[in-house]
């Protein structure tokens, strides 16, 4: 309910006597009466406010309830008119569209409250403490049975947790031992399985491991946000891997076999004669799993990088000079 400061409307202090309030009302009523201000809508509204304020402040009982409860004083009046008693008897608040301290759509049950609930319900810091005291009396044995809302179940909040995974772990799949601390400080540990094939930015869902639900609601989920740092050998592009493959000059010219590292062990690659620097070899199925848990794999692309010989012997220099004579520059 919107709070209206009746004292401010009447232009009097909260400690004003009944006589002062009555004098203020007469003065304002004469000033804003519709007969004195014909056609003036603003004056008409002001006159209604003044009458509403005087109806409360001019009545000692209503004024007392207004001073105690503020905007809630009308609920008390309606409650009394509807036959409510300060004895804790069941009462249907929904007819007034009001549920003390709870969701308007909540369902209510009638039961005995615990000591902690009574403390929470009647604590001086509570927003409706004065309101409850007036309706049900002060805390104590006589106030043990009250209405208590049974809130609608609400699902718990999802939680995100970053986790770093190496390229090897992303290839084979891995696990992480996590330690979670809830709002109450309780620590719980769980083992999270990270499937093979996850990519940088993948979200691994752990169902029901998020924040607890409210009012018997289901808990939320925990999402692990995967981060893959750069690898020292491989560059990942989707499901494919790319590698710089160094080979000797003699192998590039004459051909031969070289070892190629993969994430699943080394394999042999046949290099044909006269292989040019920068040539790409495709190794099918030697890349990453195409999706978490899948048995299909991307490819590995090995780009040739020819190593030029260093610290040549005299004999090697002579051979290269002979080669230079056999193959003139530009051929």
For helices 73-81 and 129-136, the axis angle rounded to 10 degrees is 20
147 φ, ψ (degrees, to nearest 5) = -75, 140
The tally of domains found in the chain comes to 3
Are 27 and 130 within one domain?
yes
The whole-angstrom separation of Cα 303 and Cα 244 is: 5
Residue 142 lies in a domain: yes
In this predicted structure, the answer to whether residue 81 has a pLDDT above a threshold of 50 is yes
Q: What is the pLDDT of residues 182-205, one digit of tens each?
A: 666 778 888 999 999 999 999 999
Are 25 and 70 within one domain?
yes
Are 300 and 255 within one domain?
yes
Q: Between 300 and 94, where is the model more confident?
A: 300
Are 172 and 135 within one domain?
no
The whole-angstrom separation of Cα 285 and Cα 216 is: 49
Q: Between 283 and 65, where is the model more confident?
A: 283
Are 10 and 143 within one domain?
yes
Q: What local confidence, expressed as pLDDT, does residue 103 receive?
A: 41
Q: What is the pLDDT of residues 203-217, one digit of tens each?
A: 999 998 888 888 788
Q: Of 13-17, 77-81, 186-190, which one has max mean pLDDT?
A: 13-17
In the chain, what percentage of residues exceed pLDDT 70? Answer: 72
Residue 320 lies in a domain: no
In angstroms, the Cα distances linking 52 to 31, 49, 123 are 16, 5, 32
Residue 101 lies in a domain: yes
Are 241 and 223 within one domain?
no
Lowest mean pLDDT among 18-32, 93-107, 257-271: 93-107
Lowest mean pLDDT among 70-84, 101-115, 185-199: 101-115
pTM of this prediction exceeds 0.85: no
Cβ-based burial of 245 (10 A; exposed 0-12, middle 13-18, buried ≥19): buried
Are 103 and 218 within one domain?
no
Domain at 177, CATH number: 2.60.260.20
Q: What is the pLDDT of residues 19-44, one digit of tens each?
A: 999 999 999 988 988 878 888 989 88
Nearest to 160 by CA among 221, 81, 232, 94: 221
User: In which region does residue 99 sit, left (phi positive, over 0), alpha (psi from -120 to 50) or beta (all else)?
Assistant: beta
Q: Considering 150, 171, 199, which residue would you say is the last residue of a domain? A: 150
Lowest mean pLDDT among 100-109, 116-125, 255-264, 305-314: 100-109
Are 196 and 302 within one domain?
no
Q: What local confidence, expressed as pLDDT, does residue 21 receive?
A: 92
pLDDT-based confidence at residue 80 (cuts at 50, 70, 90): low
Q: What local confidence, expressed as pLDDT, does residue 331 receive?
A: 54
Q: Considering 117, 150, 183, which residue would you say is the last residue of a domain? A: 150
Residue 140 lies in a domain: yes
Decide: helix, strand or coil at residue 241.
strand
Are 15 and 146 within one domain?
yes
In this predicted structure, the answer to whether residue 173 has a pLDDT above a threshold of 60 is yes
**C-alpha dihedral sign at 213, 218, 222, 223:** negative
Nearest to 33 by CA among 12, 21, 50, 47: 47
Beta carbons within 10 angstroms of residue 246's beta carbon: 11
In this predicted structure, the answer to whether residue 109 has a pLDDT above a threshold of 50 is no
Residue 322 lies in a domain: no
Are 55 and 87 within one domain?
yes
Are 65 and 129 within one domain?
yes
In the chain, what percentage of residues exceed pLDDT 90? Answer: 43
Residue 133 lies in a domain: yes
Are 40 and 128 within one domain?
yes
Domain of residue 185, residue span: 160-227
Q: Considering 227, 261, 276, which residue would you say is the last residue of a domain? A: 227
């Amino acid at each position: 309910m919107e709070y209206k400061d009746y004292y401010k409307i009447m232009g009097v202090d909260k400690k004003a006597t009944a006589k002062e309030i009555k004098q203020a009302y007469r003065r304002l009523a004469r000033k804003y009466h519709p007969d004195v201000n014909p056609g003036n809508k603003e004056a008409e509204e002001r006159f209604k406010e003044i009458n509403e304020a005087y109806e409360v402040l001019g009545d000692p009982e209503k004024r007392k309830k207004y001073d105690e409860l503020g905007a809630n004083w009308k609920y008390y009046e309606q409650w009394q008119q509807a036959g409510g008693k300060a004895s804790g008897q069941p009462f249907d608040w929904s007819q007034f569209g009001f549920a003390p301290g709870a969701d308007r759509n909540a369902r209510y049950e009638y039961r005995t409250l615990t000591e902690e609930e009574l403390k929470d319900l009647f604590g001086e810091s509570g927003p409706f403490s004065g309101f409850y005291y007036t309706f049900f009396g002060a805390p104590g044995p006589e106030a043990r049975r009250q209405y208590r809302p049974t809130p609608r179940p609400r699902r718990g909040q999802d939680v995100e947790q970053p986790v770093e995974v190496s390229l090897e772990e992303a290839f084979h799949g891995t696990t992480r031992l996590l330690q979670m601390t809830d709002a109450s400080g309780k620590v719980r540990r769980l083992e999270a399985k990270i499937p093979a094939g996850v990519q940088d930015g993948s979200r691994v869902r752990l169902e029901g491991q998020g924040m607890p639900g409210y009012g018997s609601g289901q808990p939320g989920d925990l999402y692990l946000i995967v981060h893959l740092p750069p690898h020292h050998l491989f560059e990942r592009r989707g499901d494919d891997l790319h590698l710089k493959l160094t080979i000797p000059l003699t192998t590039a010219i004459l051909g031969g076999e070289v070892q190629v590292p993969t994430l699943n062990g080394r394999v042999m690659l046949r290099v044909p004669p006269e292989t040019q620097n920068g040539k790409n070899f495709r190794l099918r199925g030697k890349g990453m799993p195409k999706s978490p848990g899948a048995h299909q794999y991307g490819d590995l692309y090995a780009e040739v990088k020819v190593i030029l010989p260093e610290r040549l012997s005299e004999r090697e220099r002579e051979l290269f000079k002979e080669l230079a004579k056999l193959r003139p520059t530009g051929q």
